């Protein structure tokens, strides 16, 4: 659900305004309303603070990577000059980067000199002064001519995989006329290059040690400084969003507060020198009321999926609780293997303990794993093994209960395929009901009558179809009731789709809407077959790897046969698990974002509730 908001307007005398903002920030509940007429792009103070935040963020990221895992970091020091410390760290990081670039360039020179060996360039210079020209060449192995050794005094000094490195000596001082490439060598010898590389490596180690020490002593301080910079940025931004009146003597600020968070603000307003007006926030086009979601323990886990698409606007309904159970079931159907579901559950349980910050995602993973385990138990699929086909005595009494093609068939179709289509149709009907409720709350029931007609008509026709397929003899009076309901729905569809318009226009709109509904509904329902297809594909691929593994191991002696069996099982199921996880996330998301959101008329576009508050808490720092 979306938490109801109240709109506040504060009027403060300019002398008390800064203190009032400080107190207001401590409460941490007001979302400041942005004024469209304010242009923040030219504000130099905001740009400076953003640049400081960027620099701090980059330095913190690199220091965090350098800090030893599990090391005790020194607490934040409020007496530290954070910007001076930042400049020093940036200088060390820059020097280390330059050193690494020099090392990379030097290694290339060493690689180029390696085939030529460690020779002294002074000797080459002495030969030149004596009138003997020395040239260094490279060419392909097949292009080298042995006669060059006599004709040009060529000496092969090294070889690579595809080329020959050789030197020619010309007493007459002329360059040899041979088909080979002139080598470009370093002006330093190989030993000199290696010495310089060792010096650079020592310098890099020294810089790394300094940075590691700084990461232990100043990382927390820089993190606190970054939060302070962020707080100062937000404070400056609120000052920019403030309206002024009476020759800047009066400051006016507007914002929104969730109704369940007003207690702290009320206690402040009792003593603060401020006049304020409180009113219920209304969803109008001119104002973007911020959105704060509040759901139960289960649905709250799936709020990141809603935010990934788009938050609902303040005038809409929160769809999170509506699609969360379907998404969980869809994931289980796509993954389909109880063994894989157990792996997901155990991995999520481990992650919940290992990474407390990711607890909500880990709990969602546990639910998804349990859903997959349930589907795997119902279909009898565990690590690619179809339990209804194995000859295990302890399964004899329950093999007939597994929902498989072998045990059940619905009109000649796979039971899981029929179930996927049915659950998809149910979700679409649920989405249409969600849309009816949303439009009724936003505009009124008369604007939702056409959608209500479609919803009731589909349920009416579905009930009649189920009765006929089940072989139930439908009494004549009940048939008239079903047809009467359908007639009433048709009237709603064709003559109540656009309240207030000409009936002929509404009838035309009804015809066009009927075409879109029939064609779109068929495509939407068929999209849910992917739930069955992906689960089937994962199970088949898992069974193929099982067959390959035991066939490969069975062809070898027992003492060595287990090795290829274990390798194929681990590699095959690892690959299959990875592919199935990707498809089990992507396709349920697609069904949610496309089929469900489209049929429930979800628009999104809401702005997240971000309260004006202080994040650099004094308790997180210690004064030295």
Mean pLDDT, rounded, for 270-291: 81
> Contact, 306 vs 1, CB < 8 A?
no
Q: Identify the residue with better confidence: 368 or 397.
A: 368
Mean pLDDT, rounded, for 232-254: 88
Percent of the chain having pLDDT more than 70? 97
Which residues fall within 8 angstroms of residue 96, CB to CB, at 6 or more apart?
A: 204, 207, 208, 211
Whether 623 shows a pLDDT value over 50: the answer reads no
> Dihedral angle at the C-alpha atoms of 437, 443, 445, 448, nearest 10 degrees?
-70
Which residues fall within 8 angstroms of residue 205, CB to CB, at 6 or more apart?
A: none
The C-alpha atoms of residue 269 and residue 540 are separated, in whole angstroms, by 66
Please list the alpha-helical segments (H only) found in 242-271: 262-271
* C-alpha 223 chain-centroid distance: 24
Q: Where do we find the tokens 């009124």?
A: 444
Which residues fall within 8 angstroms of residue 526, CB to CB, at 6 or more apart?
A: 421
* C-alpha 107 chain-centroid distance: 38
Whether 318 shows a pLDDT value over 80: the answer reads yes
The pLDDT confidence band at residue 286, using thresholds 50, 70 and 90, is low
Strand residue runs (E) in 421-580: none
The pLDDT confidence band at residue 185, using thresholds 50, 70 and 90, is confident
Closest C-alpha among 15, 577, 571, 1 to residue 251: 15
The pLDDT confidence band at residue 285, using thresholds 50, 70 and 90, is low
Whether 184 shows a pLDDT value over 50: the answer reads yes
User: What does the pLDDT read at residue 622?
Assistant: 41
The C-alpha atoms of residue 374 and residue 380 are separated, in whole angstroms, by 10
Question: Would you call 293 helix, strand, or coil by DSSP?
Answer: strand
The C-alpha atoms of residue 83 and residue 88 are separated, in whole angstroms, by 9
Pairing state of beta strands 275-280 and 250-258? unpaired
Which residues fall within 8 angstroms of residue 553, CB to CB, at 6 or more apart?
A: 561, 562, 563, 564, 565
What's the residue count for the chain?
Answer: 624
The C-alpha atoms of residue 362 and residue 294 are separated, in whole angstroms, by 19
- Tokens in use for 347? 């991995």
> Contact, 317 vs 438, CB < 8 A?
yes
Prediction pTM value: 0.77
The C-alpha atoms of residue 579 and residue 573 are separated, in whole angstroms, by 10
User: What does the pLDDT read at residue 147?
Assistant: 87
List pLDDT tens digits, range 217-234. Answer: 888 888 898 998 898 889
The C-alpha atoms of residue 276 and residue 254 are separated, in whole angstroms, by 10
Q: How far is CA 192 from CA 115, 172, 202, 467, in A?
A: 15, 31, 15, 92
Q: Where do we find the tokens 């295990």?
A: 392
The C-alpha atoms of residue 488 and residue 473 are separated, in whole angstroms, by 24
The C-alpha atoms of residue 540 and residue 79 are separated, in whole angstroms, by 64
- Tokens in use for 440? 């009724």
The C-alpha atoms of residue 501 and residue 176 are separated, in whole angstroms, by 95
Whether 130 shows a pLDDT value over 80: the answer reads yes
Q: How far is CA 512 from CA 91, 199, 489, 517, in A?
A: 67, 78, 16, 9
Q: What's the mean pLDDT when you consider all of the chain? A: 86
- Tokens in use for 272? 């603060």
Mean pLDDT, rounded, for 341-369: 92
Q: Identify the residue with better confidence: 600 or 411.
A: 600
User: What does the pLDDT read at residue 332?
Assistant: 92
Whether 619 shows a pLDDT value over 50: the answer reads no
Whether 376 shows a pLDDT value over 80: the answer reads yes
Percent of the chain having pLDDT more than 90? 21
Closest C-alpha among 590, 571, 570 to residue 582: 590
Determine what percent of the chain falls in helix, strand and coil, rounding each to the nearest 5.
65, 10, 25
The C-alpha atoms of residue 336 and residue 162 are separated, in whole angstroms, by 53
CA atoms within 13 A on the CB side of 60: 18
């Amino acid at each position: 659900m979306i938490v109801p908001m109240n709109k506040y307007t504060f009027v403060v005398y300019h002398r008390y305004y800064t203190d009032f903002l400080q107190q207001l920030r401590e409460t941490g509940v007001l979302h400041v309303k942005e004024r469209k007429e304010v242009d923040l792009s030219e504000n130099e103070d905001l740009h400076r603070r953003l640049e400081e935040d960027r620099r701090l963020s980059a330095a913190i990221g690199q220091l965090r990577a350098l800090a030893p895992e599990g090391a005790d970091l020194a607490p934040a020091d409020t007496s530290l000059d954070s910007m001076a410390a930042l400049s020093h760290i940036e200088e060390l990081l820059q020097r280390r980067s330059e050193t690494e670039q020099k090392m990379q360039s030097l290694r290339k020179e060493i690689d180029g000199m390696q085939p030529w060996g460690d020779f002294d360039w002074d000797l080459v210079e002495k030969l030149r002064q004596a009138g003997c020209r020395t040239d260094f060449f490279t060419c392909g192995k097949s292009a080298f001519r042995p006669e060059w050794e006599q004709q040009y005094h060529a000496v092969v000094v090294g070889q690579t995989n595809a080329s020959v490195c050789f030197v020619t000596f010309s007493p007459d001082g002329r360059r040899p006329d041979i088909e080979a490439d002139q080598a470009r060598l370093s002006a330093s010898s190989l030993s000199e290059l290696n010495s310089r590389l060792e010096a650079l490596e020592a310098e890099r180690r020294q810089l790394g040690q300094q940075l590691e020490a700084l990461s232990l002593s100043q990382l927390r301080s820089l993190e606190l400084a970054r939060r302070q910079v962020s707080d100062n940025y937000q404070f400056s931004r609120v000052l920019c969003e403030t309206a002024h009146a009476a020759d800047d003597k009066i400051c006016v600020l507007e914002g929104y507060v969730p109704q369940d968070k007003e207690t702290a603000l009320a206690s402040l307003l009792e003593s603060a020198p401020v006049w304020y007006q409180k009113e219920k926030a209304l969803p109008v086009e001119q104002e973007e009321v911020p959105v704060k979601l509040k759901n139960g323990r289960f649905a709250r886990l799936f709020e990141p999926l809603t935010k990934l698409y788009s938050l609902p606007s303040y005038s809409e309904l929160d769809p999170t609780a509506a699609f969360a159970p379907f998404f969980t079931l869809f994931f289980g159907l796509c993954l389909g293997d109880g063994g894989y579901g157990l792996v997901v559950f155990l991995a999520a349980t481990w992650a919940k303990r290992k990474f407390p910050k990711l607890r909500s995602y880990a709990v969602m993973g546990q639910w998804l794993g349990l859903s997959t385990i349930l589907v795997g138990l119902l279909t009898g699929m565990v690590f690619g093994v179809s339990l209804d086909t194995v000859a295990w005595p302890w399964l004899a009494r329950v093999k007939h209960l597994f929902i498989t093609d072998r045990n059940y068939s619905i009109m000649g179709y796979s039971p899981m395929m029929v179930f996927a289509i049915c659950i998809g149709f149910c979700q679409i009907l649920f989405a249409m009901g969600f849309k009816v409720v949303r439009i009724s709350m936003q505009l009124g029931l008369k604007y939702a009558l056409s959608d209500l007609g479609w919803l009731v008509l589909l349920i009416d026709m579905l009930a009649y179809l189920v009765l006929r397929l089940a072989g139930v003899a439908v009494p004549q009076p009940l048939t008239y009731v079903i047809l009467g309901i359908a007639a009433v729905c048709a009237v709603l569809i064709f003559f109540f789709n656009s309240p207030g318009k000409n009936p002929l226009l509404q009838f035309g709109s009804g015809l066009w809407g009927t075409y879109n509904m029939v064609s779109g509904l068929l495509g939407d329902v068929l999209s849910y077959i992917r739930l069955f297809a992906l689960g089937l594909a994962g199970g088949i691929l898992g069974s193929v790897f099982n067959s390959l593994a035991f066939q490969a191991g069975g062809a070898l002696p027992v003492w060595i046969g287990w090795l290829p069996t274990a390798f194929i099982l681990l590699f095959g199921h690892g690959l299959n698990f990875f592919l199935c996880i990707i498809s089990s996330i992507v396709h349920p998301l697609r069904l949610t974002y496309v089929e469900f959101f489209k049929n429930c008329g979800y628009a999104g576009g809401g702005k997240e509730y971000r309260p004006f508050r202080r994040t650099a808490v004094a308790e997180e720092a210690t004064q030295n």
